[in-house]
Structures are given as structure tokens and as C-alpha cells.
Structure 1
Amino acid sequence: MHAIERRAATERLRRCVVPTSQYPEIYEAIYSTILSGLVGRNPVDPRFVRWHSDLARNAVIREATSSPTLLLTGLSGSGKSTLVESVLSCFPQVIRHTRYSGEPLQRSQLVYLRVDVPPDASRRAFCLSILDAIDSALDTNYGTQYRKPHTRLGDLETAICTACTAYGVGILVLDELQNINVQNAGGQEALLNLFDTLTNRARVPIMQVGTPAALRVFGNRFRAARRAGTAGVVELERPVHGSEDWQFLVEVAWRGQWVKNPTPLTKSLDKTLYTLSQGLPAVLYRLVALANHAAISEGSERINAQCLKAVYRKQFGLMRPALSALRKGDQGRYEDLMSVGEWFDTGGSRGSLHQIFSRANAAKLGAAEITELRRRIEDAFLEANLNTQQKGRLRKLWRSLGLTGEPGLSDAQ
């Protein structure tokens, strides 16, 4: 192949999908969520017809229902979007029904609806993105119909609920959830109400995908954040060096050498690749692709540690501080690089442990402040996955406030 063709071929690495050990877990979670969300949504059932009519008229729906929600979070570059796209591709997006139980039934069913939340999205932009996704899948015109300045937000939300019900949406996947601008969206409560409307009124299961920074959408308490995952919270783990997942990723990446003099994957190169990429698939594949490009362009036609490091220094300028923080274990400065536990522990949310201790260290604490701290500590014990050290610190604070009993259990005593 000519050098130009080989350089172009390196782009295939950026589209590479390598299933890790968590893929089956997330496939099962999505599949189960779709199935459970379809319960009670039989389109020929008279109760369903009445309910759909009530939705379209924006009437009060008295029946208490709630569809499951699923939260997938992970570091930026960990492959969340690729994973979700791969799993969803296992299902047909649209099913055209012609009969049901031997009777004619002309109906289009949306098995899944995936929406990329636009950057700095307002609530209106968020709603329009959902309608645009429906249009893209079914060739409808909801987006055009409701993209008018005078259209009220309430009308947009009703349109979403009605359309999702009419087409039997199995699951609504909201990717890049951290892009929602909470202030532009009317605040956390407005966003939570919108999610509740979809799960309670329209009975549509929701899967929310984003970095831990997306947790800011759910407000200042652990319990609010947990509302994102009634069907489960899955954190996409960064592969550890030497793990089976890492070996699978790096071996596939290293096969993508388009140079004339490919080199074997030695232990030294393996370590260099992990050190530079920190196990993030997006970084790993971009690094190898750019190293191919450089080796071909410069004529060396060989990828070695020197080439990888030179490409890293030259091409990863904006990402290097964040990757350096991962190496040092100092990712608390970067919201997109924190785990969920680190997010709560270092102040990523106003309901985090960081804020609990900041409040406790403030000036004089009156009865109201102590009551608020008690509520926050109990909430943390009930809703957060605390480690032993975190629990110990909170128990010590609990006692210093003159509180008795065990945090999280005092209401029952």
C-alpha cells in the first residue's frame, strides 16, 4: 500500500471496538431494563389506550407508575459511548408491526432512542434533541413542529411523552449527560421533574450516560443522585495494567501497525503504552494511530517507545495535564477523571463529604446547622458507597456534634 493509503488506514483504529469484561454486564442491564419497562404498555389494551389519551390531553394521571432508570458512568475516554452504541446495535431500533395476536396492527415501535445531549444544553435544547432523535429514527417532523420561539416547555415535554408512548420507546438513552447546563435548564429540580415525567407519566425507562460530572444534575444530596439508577448504577472501570481487559485492548491496538517494519509487543512497550494512555481506550487507540502516522510520514516505518513518547508530547498537549494527574492519583482537579466515590469525596457535588466537613468546620454551629449536618450524614450513610475510612470520619463527626445512635439508623430508634 502507498504511504497515503496506509496513513488513511490508521484512522480505523479510532473506530475500533474491543469488548471488555463489562460488556456482557451492561448488555444484560439494558436488555432487562427494556423488558421491565414494557410491562403494562400493551398498545391494544383499553387501559393503555385511555392512558395514552390522557397523556396527549395532559390530563392528570392518577395511577402511580414508575419505569426503571439506569446510570452508566466512567472517566472521559473510557469508552462509554462506544460501549452503549455497540450494545444497542444488537437490537433493531425500529420494528414495523403489521399484526398482533392474529389481528391487523399497523404500528412502528422504537426499541431504543439514543440522544446525544448537546454541549451546554438548556432544557429546551435537551427536549428538542429528543424530538430530533425520534424524527431521525422514524422520519417524522416533531423537531420542526415544535422548534418555534413561542413553544412552551410544557408543550415540548407533553410532545415527548406522547411520542414516546405512541411508538412504545423501550429505553431512552441520554449520552453525555454532563453537557446539560443546570442553570440554563432551570435548576436541578426542573431537570429532575423532567426525568420524573418521562419515567412516571410516559413510563419510559431511561439510561443516563456520562462522566461523574453528570451527577451535578441530580443536586446536592446523595439520594437525588441515586434517583439516576433505580435499575442499577454501573461504573465503567479503567483497565488495570496487566489485567485481562488491558491485555485484550493493547493486543488489538498493536495489531494496527501499518508501518513497513512492525515491531512485536514487548513488556517494555506494553508498559510504555499503559503509562502514556493510563488504560483509557480512546487515548490508547489515538496514540497508536498517531504513532503510525508519524512513523510513516517521517520514513522510519517503525513504532518504538521513542516514537510513542514523541507523539505523546507533540499531539496530546491539551490532555497531558489530565493524564499526568491520573498517573499521580491526583485526578480530583478534573471532574471528568474522577470515579463516583471520588466525586462525592472531593467536593464534586454540594452534597459530598467535602462539603459536609466544610460545614462542620464553619463558625458556630446552631441547632439548625446541626440538624442539617445530621440529615446530610444520614443521607451519606444510606445512599453513598462509603469506604471504611469515610465511615469512620463521619461517625467521629456525628459524635462530636453530640448526636447519639448510629448514622442512618437514628430515625428508627
Structure 2
Amino acid sequence: MARSIEAAYTPTGLGQYDGNPLIEALPPIHDDETVGELLCNFPDFPSSAEMALKPKLRAHCVSRMSDIVVPMDLHLQFEASFSQLIRGGYTARDPFHRDAVAMLHAADDAQLRHSGFKSSASTLAIFGLSGMGKTTMLNSLVKTYPQVIVHKRYAGKNFRRTQIVWLKIDCPHDGSPRGLCASFFAALDGALGTDYTDKYMKPRASVSMLMQHVSQLCRSFNVGVLIIDELQNLNLLADADSKQRILNFFLTLSNDAGIPLVYSGTNSTFKLFAGVVRNARRALGMSDYYFDRFHIDDDEWSALVQTFLVYNWTEDAIERTPELNEKLYYLTQGNTDFLAKLMMLTQWYALANDQKVTPSLYQKVYDQQMIILHRPIEALRSNDPLQIADFEDMMPAREQVAYMITIARARQARRGGGSAPFQLQGLPNQLPTPSPDAVTAPASRRLAGVADPLVVSDAQRVAESDDWEAAAKEKGFTSFGDDIELW
């Protein structure tokens, strides 16, 4: 899909969408089969010409494996929600509606709130383990939409407007509000070729003024969705007021300016929404999606492994055996990023040393070249909550919620003068731990518990409950006593 296109209007056949040029200019609403074709990315497979090259040259082809994207059910369901999110957000921002025009020209937050505009924007949230492909999915998804649409005429009338369909920003590594604004201006400049970063990021510019510029630009350029990736970086902010200020700003963008939002981060992002129920409600919005690691017998894990094995530039075929499957899962624990790294490193080693890829070679490469990942992988392998807690971005969603509540209980006990020792209780151990020699297969399931828009998830019920303790206890997140105070 081109980054910038001139608007061409196609009615959708849906009454709430037709007649709105911002919606009619979007690509058609695709079926699942088409979405799968658009999202997948299979780099060039090994060719006979490449296989005739010397091993050192063939080694340069191995890096293509890092570009593999295998669509999963989770991707298809998220795309459907994403499609509704953008179009639903535009329904209230019909450029020919009086209230939408008043919102567009509001000079400040006060005028924005009194413009008569009623937002139709919602939010999506993606949480999951580090390395499970959240960012890869988002990058593949936004490429199915043009980023910028230039309008000139609509229905025989002049209609000059620049529409930014999507804008993706990364939360800065320090989580600072100023850094977040700078990331927004840089993304906007990248989409439009403008110089808003130089214009607004002055040394004396206050954060309040920068945020006001962000809001105005989102409205002026009809931003269809703002994607905030790496949201867990806000946890690095020591100043709780600054953290809450950013979350409130996101809410204002959605509620008052009508900008749909997509939050993306590791499961440690949950802590950002724990203290204020309205933040949790808005974070969940339309749906919440969770990227947890695969089980060894998941069909999608099997498909992923098989795809990687096809990209083989060594002279000997890699035979897929039960021993190989067990070894790959044991060394990666169902994490897609770990799998890709192990596969590439092993092929490079095999090509450099004229060896055949075998389960024992995967083990050797893991032992020698993936040392920095041993601790988090061993923590996942142990299923010990205390070990997993050392790596917040690796803790599964259910355990993350339980861990938060348990810490809150300990804090409350200390404030109340309780002498009971702090112990992690009730954290479920759900994933099986295969050994190098034998693997006990768990019950089959999909990649993750994907949220159906018609089904309210347990996490959503907890988030929307006025009594976190009772709701969490009812859903079995943990076992704990009374008087829990969430921060």
C-alpha cells in the first residue's frame, strides 16, 4: 500500500459510514482470506542459484528469516477490530457536520469540551510477552492502509483536506511526557515531510503547550488512529503525577478530540491502569488482546516451526522429528523471537563450520551464543512465579494481574502494621515444562485467549469492577485476604 494517495471514494453500503468522505476514502473492508494474504510476509525461499554459492555467501541469505510473518487467528481478529476502530472513530468526525467542524477549530481544551462534539472513538489494547510479535503485527497491519490520503473534491464540491489514517509512535525509553510529544512530532514529520519537530520542540516549550499542539494536529489532519507502542516505558517514570498526566491526555484525545487509540505493551503495562478504574475501562475499550507464549502442541506453533525450517541454506535437509520439536520448544519456551534467533544463529554456525543442523547443534548454539537469554528462558521453563517476576516483560497476563494484587496486599499489610511476611500466593502455574528428554503435552489451545467483541473477558470484568478484590478472587487470579489497596 502506498504511503500517500489521492482520495478515491467507494461507498461501503453501511448507512453509518456512507456519505463520510474520510471513511469512503479508506480501503475496502476485507474478508479474512484477503487479510491473511495482506498480513503475511514470506521472503524469497532458498533458490537453486543461491544453493550453488559458497557457504559464506549463503550465510548472508539467512537474515531473511527475521522478516517472516505468519498470520495467526489472533492477527485476523485484531484486524477486524482495528478496521472497526478507525471507521467508528470517523463516524462522529464527519467533516460536514456542524459539531465536528466546531471541534476541529477549537483553540483550547475549554472550547473543545464545549464544542458540542460527541466522540465516537474507542480504544484497543494489546498486551503480551516480549518477543511474541506485537510490534511486528502492528507494522504489518498498518501497511494495509495508506498512511496519508489527500482530498480535493467530494460529491462534485471542493474538499481540500489531508487525512492521516494512522500514526504510530513509540513511548520514549524514559517515559517522559516531553519525549512522547517529540516522538509524535517526528512521526508526523515522517508522514507529511513537515518540520513540526523544529517548530514546536523548543527548549522553553512547556509540556502543556506541547500536548495542546499534539491534540490540535491530530484534529487538523484527521488522524484515524494513534498507535502508542512500548507503553510499558511509562512505568519508568518516577513521578506519578507525570504518569497520570500522560494517561489523562490520552483519555482527552479519545473523549474530547475523537481520536481512536491503540495501546501496545508488555504485560507490565497493566500496572499503569491498576489505580484508576476509568483508565482501565478506556484501555480495554472495544477489546483487549493477549500475546502469551505458545504451547508445544499448538497448531500455530507447529506452522511457525515448519515455516522456519523451509528457509534452510545448509546442504543437508533439516529433518523434523519429535526430538527436534521438543528441543526447539525446550530452548525457546514458545517465544517466537527466541525461536527466530535460535534458528538463524544455528544456520550461521552450521554454514561456517560445515556441520549438519541437528537437535544437538541447536543445544550447542544455545549454550554458546544465547547466554544472555538463559536466565529469562530458564525462568519461563521453571514456571516459578518468583523467578518469572524478575523479568516483568516475560510474565504471562494472568500471573501479572495476580502479582500486582499480591504486592498491593503486602503494601497494605505494611501500612497497617501487619507483621505477616510477604509471600507470593496463588499464582497459577499453567504452562507445561518440557525437558530435553521428554515432553508432556498439555491440552491443545490457540496462541492466546483472543477477545471476541461479543464476549467480556475475565480481565475486563476485573478492570470494570468497582471491587477489584472480589472480582479478581471470583475469577481465580489469586487468593488473598481483605483490604487490598491497588496503587
The TM-score with structure 2 as length reference comes to 0.73
Q: Secondary structure at the match of 2:270?
A: helix
Pairwise CA RMSD of aligned residues?
2.4
2: distance between equivalents of 1:140 and 1:278?
Answer: 44
Asked if residue 31 in structure 1 is aligned to residue 83 in structure 2, the reply is yes
**For 1:378 and 1:57, how far apart are their aligned partners in 2?**
29
Cα pair distance change 1:162/1:60, threshold 3 Å: closer
Instruction: Provide the rounded CA distance (Å) in 2 between the counterparts of 1:383 and 1:357.
Output: 19
What code does the residue aligned with 1:289 have?
Answer: M
Instruction: Measure how far apart 1:157 and its partner are.
Output: 1.1
Which one of the candidate residues 357, 382, 386 is aligned to 1:328? 382
Please point out which of 119, 125, 130 is paired with 1:71: 125
Matched, 1:52 2:140: no
8 Å CA contact 2:132, 2:293 repeated in 1: yes
Q: Give identity over the alignment, percent.
A: 28
Q: Does 1:248 align with 2:303?
A: yes
Partner of 1:379: 467
Q: Distance in 1 between matches of 2:263 and 2:477?
A: 30
2:175 to 106, 121, 128: 121
State the AA in 1 paired with 2:92. Answer: G
Amino acid aligned to 2:72: T
> How far apart are the structure 2 equivalents of 1:191 and 1:36?
24
Of residues 280-289 and 61-70 in structure 1, the stretch that sits farther from structure 2 once superposed is 61-70
Farther off after superposition, 306-315 or 243-252: 306-315
**Secondary structure at 1:59 match in 2:** helix
The 2-side partners of 1:356 and 1:64 are apart by: 42
Q: 2:216 aligns with which of 143, 158, 162?
A: 162
Q: Following the alignment from structure 2 to structure 1, what is the Cα–Cα distance between the partners of residues 206 and 95?
A: 28
Give the Å deviation of 1:364: 5.3
Shift of 1:384: 5.0
Contact 1:33 1:68 in 2 (8 A): yes
| Cross-structure match for 1:10 | 62
Q: Secondary structure at the match of 1:210?
A: strand
Alignment partner for residue 130 of structure 1, among 158, 170, 184? Answer: 184
Kindly indicate whether the alpha-carbon contact (under 8 Å) linking 1:94 and 1:111 is maintained by their aligned counterparts in 2: yes
- CA distance in structure 1 between the partners assigned to 2:477 and 2:207 by the alignment: 45
Q: Which shows bigger deviation, 272-281 or 56-65?
A: 56-65
Query: What CA deviation, in whole Å up to 9, does each residue of 1:279-321 have, x standing for no partner?
Result: 1111111110110000001121x11111111111122122110
Residue 444 of structure 2 corresponds to residue 356 of structure 1 = no
Give the partner amino acid of 1:115.
I
The residue aligned with 2:360 is 306
For the residues of structure 2 that align with 1:243 and 1:55, how far apart are their CA atoms? 53
Q: Secondary structure at the match of 2:149?
A: strand
2:320 pairs, out of 241, 265, 270, with 265
The runs of 5 or more residues in structure 1 that have no matched partner are 366-375, 402-413
Kindly indicate whether the alpha-carbon contact (under 8 Å) linking 1:109 and 1:168 is maintained by their aligned counterparts in 2: yes
Q: TM-score, normalised by structure 1?
A: 0.85
* Contact 1:69/1:229 (8 A) holds in 2: yes
- Give, in angstroms, the shift of residue 227 of structure 1: 3.1
Q: How far 1:170 sits from its partner (Å)?
A: 0.9
Cα offsets for 1:378-401 (capped at 9, x unmatched): 5315775953373xx35xx34xx7
Unaligned runs of 5+ in 2: 1-52, 419-463
Residues 1:341 and 2:394 aligned together: no
Deviation at 1:210, TM superposition (A): 0.6
Secondary structure, counterpart of 2:407 in structure 1: helix
Deviations 1:35-66 (A, max 9, x none): 11112111233322222111468635224744
Distance between the aligned counterparts of 1:133 and 1:309, measured in 2?
A: 42
What residue is the counterpart of 2:140 in the other structure?
86
Change in CA separation of 1:88 and 1:264 when aligned onto 2, cut-off 3 Å: same
Q: Indicate conservation of the 8 Å contact 1:188/1:219, yes or no.
A: no
Tell me the CA shift for residue 233 of structure 1. Answer: 1.2
Equivalent residue number for residue 411 of structure 1 = none
In 2, are the aligned partners of 1:119 and 1:179 still within 8 Å (CA)? yes
1:156 Cα shift?
1.0
Larger helix proportion, structure 1 or 2? 1
CA contact (8 A) 1:226 1:383 kept: no
Deviation of the 1:237 alpha carbon: 2.7
**Number of residues of Structure 1 aligned to a counterpart in Structure 2:** 380
Shift of residue 171, structure 1, vs aligned partner: 0.7
In structure 1, C-alpha distance between the alignment counterparts of 2:175 and 2:145, rounded to whole Å: 28
Q: Is the 8 Å Cα contact of residues 221 and 379 (structure 1) preserved in structure 2? A: no
1:388 maps to which of 476, 479, 484? 476
Mapped partners of 2:353, 2:191: distance in 1: 45
